[in-house]
Amino acid sequence: MNVHESEKIAGILTESGYVPCERAEDADVIVFNTCCVRENAEQHAFGNIGMLKKLKKDKPELVVAVCGCMTQQGDFARRLSETFPFIDLIIGTYNIDKFGELLKKTVETKKRVIEILEKNGEICENISPLRSSFPNAWVNIMYGCDNFCSYCVVPYVRGRERSRKIEKILEEVKSLVNDGYKEITLLGQNVNSYGKDFKEKGVDFSRLLREIGRIDGKFRLRFMSNHPKDLTEEVALAISENPHACKAVHLPVQSGSDRILSLMNRRYTREKFLSEVSMIRKIIPDCAISTDIIVGFPTETEEEFSETLSLVKEVGFCGAFTFVYSPRAGTKAAVMDGQIDAETKKDRIMRLVDLQNAINRADSEKYVGKTVEILVEDFDEKKKAYMGRDERGKMAYFPYSEKIVGKFIDAKITSASGMSLIGEVEKVKG
């Protein structure tokens, strides 16, 4: 979400006549697009902004701007402006379309501008992102979140769920495919809620998937994230019948313990999650399921943590983003009794990561000797090899003498190297 939002900010800057540069010293404007979903992201932002102090002193005409989730949270904008008096522009998440205008105001008046709105407004459709993730293109299908998981700050900083009009999404996807993008990733905090805020019925996530399925051309379709409480058979069928959709679903489970899931306000049980996994695998054979997991949620016992481990084993996720619980001001969980100490959290995350790594390695081994279709994403200068992924999201490296970024190839997998695969190109398909 934030990466794509940065592409939008870069788009606004381009329209205002700016061009990207490599080094901070050469910049006229530096924008920090912040995240506050976990404390370490926040500390990162503070550290990086602080590092500009000297540069700004040497070059007072440099404009330093801060936007993103952090600015929208509690009294953060005030704290930021007090801690870093050299910041010129602070803008919240609900008025990012005004970024160009406010930047102009800052530059012209040489005065600090701070504009944070209290509530989200309508979706703004007139920003053209400066994309930097070819051959993938991110496409927002909705903004905000109404779920209020008890640990999560997103609903407070991104506002209520609002879906983009289906025609706008289809228009964007078609034009990206025409422009040569080979992978479209639909973005929403909970893509399964798509369309629930529309007055007229009949437009939901499965309908959107089916409409995208009718677009001509060879491209991959991905989407994230799904909420297990909302992923229906209808959606699984729409994936399995879609010629573009990858056999991959990102389904954040967060915990394997019913008591913790209930405290997290996730509104599903372990059993419901497991039956959903079976349903997905029945309808989409070989579907890769990845997840997000939090360890050390307040009051989580060793036994409850081991239920997470056993669930991870039982499902065999093809990948997991694992997080140590981080208290976020304003959320219910932050004020719960029974916060877990840092050492226990560290121990738990290490055991979880070890388990998931072992699962990933075993998964990689199964590829050896097979030929898979890879979309080539990049050239890795260090490894002197191209990098790409198969439709399940498995990463592979392979040498090739010509430029092939953005092409589909068939690669024969010769060995597995931990998480990723090593192969050789059998056929470049274009």
Find the shortest distance in angstroms from Cβ 265 to ligand SF4.
Answer: 8
- CB-wise, 189 or 206, nearer to ligand SF4? 189
Q: Between 12 and 41, how does the x/- string for binding to ligand 5AD read (CB under 6 A)?
A: -------------------------xx---
* Cα–Cα–Cα angle for 219, 284, 281, rounded to 5 degrees: 140
- CB-wise, 90 or 139, nearer to ligand SF4? 139
Residues within the interface to ligand SF4 (CB under 6 A): 145, 147-149, 152, 154-155, 189-190, 227
Separation CA 9–CA 131 (nearest Å)? 10
For position 360 contacting ligand 5AD by CB under 6 A, the verdict is no
Long-range contacts of 36-41 (CB under 8 A, 24+ apart): 36/68, 36/69, 36/70, 36/73, 36/76, 36/153, 36/157, 36/328, 37/69, 37/152, 37/153, 37/154, 37/328, 38/323, 38/326, 38/328, 39/326, 39/327, 39/328, 40/326
Angle between helices 302-315 and 342-365 (to 10 degrees): 10
- CB-wise, 190 or 290, nearer to ligand SF4? 190
Determine whether 130 is exposed, middle or buried from the number of CB atoms within 10 Å of its CB (0-12, 13-18, 19+).
Answer: middle
**What does 95 interact with, of ligand 5AD, ligand SF4, none (CB < 5 to 8 A by kind)?**
none
For position 273 contacting ligand 5AD by CB under 6 A, the verdict is no
* Size of the residue set binding ligand 5AD (CB under 6 A): 12
Q: Between 137 and 156, how does the x/- string for binding to ligand 5AD read (CB under 6 A)?
A: --------------xx----
Separation CA 165–CA 162 (nearest Å)? 10
- The answer to whether 298 and 339 have CB atoms below 8 angstroms apart is yes
**What does 323 interact with, of ligand SF4, ligand 5AD, none (CB < 5 to 8 A by kind)?**
ligand 5AD
- CB-wise, 155 or 406, nearer to ligand SF4? 155
**What does 155 interact with, of ligand SF4, ligand 5AD, none (CB < 5 to 8 A by kind)?**
ligand SF4
- CB-wise, 296 or 406, nearer to ligand 5AD? 296
Token look-up 């260090």 returns 382
Find the shortest distance in angstroms from Cβ 251 to ligand 5AD.
Answer: 10
Separation CA 305–CA 255 (nearest Å)? 8
Find the shortest distance in angstroms from Cβ 155 to ligand SF4.
Answer: 5
- The answer to whether 232 and 283 have CB atoms below 8 angstroms apart is no
Interface residues with ligand 5AD (CB under 6 A) are 37-38, 151-152, 252, 254, 292, 294, 323, 325-326, 328
